[in-house]
Amino acid sequence: MESFWFLMQGLGNALSPQNILFAFIGSVIGTLVGVLPGVGPAAGTAILIPMTFVLPAVPAIIMLAAIYYGAMYGGTITSVLLNVPGEAASVVTCIEGHQMAKHGRAGPALSIAAIGSFIGGTVATICLVTLALPLTQLALRFGPPEFFALMCFGLSLVISLAGKSLIKALLVALFGLALSQVGMDPTIGFPRFTFGMIDMVGGLELIAIVMGLFGVGDLLVSLEAQAQDVMRSKIGRLFPSREDWKRSLPAICRGTAIGTGLGLIPGVASAVPTFVSYVFEKKATPEPREGWGGGAIEGVAGPETANNAYVNAALIPLFTLGIPSSPTVALLMGAFMINGLIPGPFLFKEHPEVVWTVIASLFVGNVILLILNLPLIGLWVRVLTIPRGILYALILVFCIVGSYSLNNRLFDPVIMLLFGVLGYLFRKFDFPLAPVALTLILGPLMEKGLAQSMMLSRGDPSIFVTRPIALVLLLLSVLVLVTSSMKSQSAASEAIRQDSQA
């Protein structure tokens, strides 16, 4: 009850004109950061860190937090309209979202994403207010073995991302896994697969790769398909229909749960909950009319909700333990520290006015983002009416500038373009792209979990079966693997039978 009163007080502070202004500025910048490919939330926040020297603590932190979750709203826009994922967390949205845009349903895709984001973000913040401490204690039980098992579970989902051919999906998954090995070994610090190039020592930039594979690859395919009008300038309705609502609501609920749960665990990358949510939708809902990969709204609503629930939940360990669970949260922690506030449970006692104002501002910011994003959808979808020649040139410029800005070096745009060509070939030969992104993201996390578990147990693999959470997760992944491969096996033999009959 006490925290409720503190929250109300915080809400009062958060609603002061100054704080609303900074939440608004943060939301606008966050949306922009999300829209601009390559400028991820971490980079966007980092660039504004110096402002925290000039501003008082509370508005500064409110603004930076708003950038962080605002970017998750904005990231949807380019994914849906242009098939260019602005950051890792919006890769999944490309799969169904861009298909929706191609069928003139960009409006409903963007609206449902904004509404889902709002719900996910708000529910995760409510968790922060009410259940922060017990939830964190639970999340801390995820040590290296549990983390490894969780990543195994994530990898087992790759089969569900397969298109027509399981073999092709597994091939590209392995390809992604191999790519993720480039760079410094996490346990002994040895550079791997760098070919003596200093630029490769830090590994390949995930964003550059997915921008190339999805964005540029799609662009090349579209260019080729001159005759067919791939990106038709039809806009259609802007807001979801009654049926869209009915289909999206369960997806939003599931996305909220998945995003909040995974956000609590330090070290889970922001893209993980989106993939989990997407695959979960594929399992939980009957095949939609459009078919999976054909623009199913559940595939937008779930992941987009999950990533906003994730970012708001990721703040929980920061407030309860002072542990930043992602690079962007680490930046936020920096903003606290610059102002002489050390995040952690003491902050609630020593500076309750700061903590509760910031938490209340999360609610305010989510409302601002919703108000900001819904009316803009009409404007955004008009991007699709830009003549193709200009639009494609713009996309290419965005991708090049975005990938350059990752590290201020030419190496990343080159990688991005190389993967653009590869993305084109993948599409030509009907290889699915999503498994590459999934293994690229999960690979390093899984490797770290494995290496750390082995250090803990001195190389004894029984550590994975003697710890209950790890064991359950591993069994679950086996179950997923077995059931889905059986399903695809029967589907394949069915196809062969039909082929031979025909």
Partner 1 sequence: MDKSTTRLTRRQFLVGTSVCAASAAWAIPRRAASADFPAGRPITILIHASAGGGFDIGVRTLQPYLETTLGTRLVLMNQPGSAGLVMLTQMSRVKPDGYTVGSIYLPGFNAMWLDPRRQPTFKRKDFRFLAGHVWDPCSIVVKPGAPWKTLLDFTNEAKAKPGSLAIALGGIVSDDHLFLLDIMAKTGTDIKIVHFDASAPAIAAFLGGHTHGLAVNEAESTPLVQRGDARLLALANTQRSKYNPNVPTLREQGLDIVASAVRGFLTPANVPQPIFDFLAKAFKDAINNPEHVAKMDKMGFPVAYLGPQEFTELVVKEDARVTQLAKQFKLFDPLPQE
Nearer to partner 1, 337 or 486 (CB): 337
Nearer to partner 1, 387 or 459 (CB): 459
Apex CA 443: angle with CA 439 and CA 445, to 5°? 130
Helix, strand, coil percentages, rounded to 5, for the chain? 75, 0, 20
State the minimum distance, in angstroms, from the CB of residue 100 to partner 1. 27
Taking CA atoms, 12 is separated from 19, 126, 357, 371, 372, in Å, by 10, 17, 8, 20, 22
Nearer to partner 1, 221 or 330 (CB): 330
State the minimum distance, in angstroms, from the CB of residue 218 to partner 1. 22
Nearer to partner 1, 301 or 321 (CB): 321
d(CA 52, CA 61) in angstroms, rounded, equals: 8
DSSP 192: E
d(CA 210, CA 315) in angstroms, rounded, equals: 26
Nearer to partner 1, 39 or 91 (CB): 39
Ranges of H-type helices in 50-165:
51-54, 57-82, 91-93, 99-102, 106-130, 132-140, 144-156
State the minimum distance, in angstroms, from the CB of residue 183 to partner 1. 8
Nearer to partner 1, 116 or 203 (CB): 203
Nearer to partner 1, 342 or 425 (CB): 342
State the minimum distance, in angstroms, from the CB of residue 56 to partner 1. 15
Taking CA atoms, 447 is separated from 357, 442, 466, in Å, by 39, 8, 20
| Backbone φ, ψ for residue 184 (5° rounding) | -70, 130
| Backbone φ, ψ for residue 496 (5° rounding) | -65, -40
DSSP 323: -
Which of left, alpha, beta for 267 (phi over 0: left; psi -120 to 50: alpha)?
Answer: left
State the minimum distance, in angstroms, from the CB of residue 197 to partner 1. 10
Which positions lie near partner 1, rule CB under 8 A?
Answer: 29, 32-33, 36, 38-39, 42-47, 49-50, 53, 140-144, 183-184, 186-191, 196, 198-199, 201-202, 266-267, 317, 321-325, 327, 330-335, 337-338, 340, 342, 344-346, 401-402, 404-405, 407-408, 448, 451-452, 455-456, 458
State the minimum distance, in angstroms, from the CB of residue 78 to partner 1. 13
State the minimum distance, in angstroms, from the CB of residue 333 to partner 1. 8
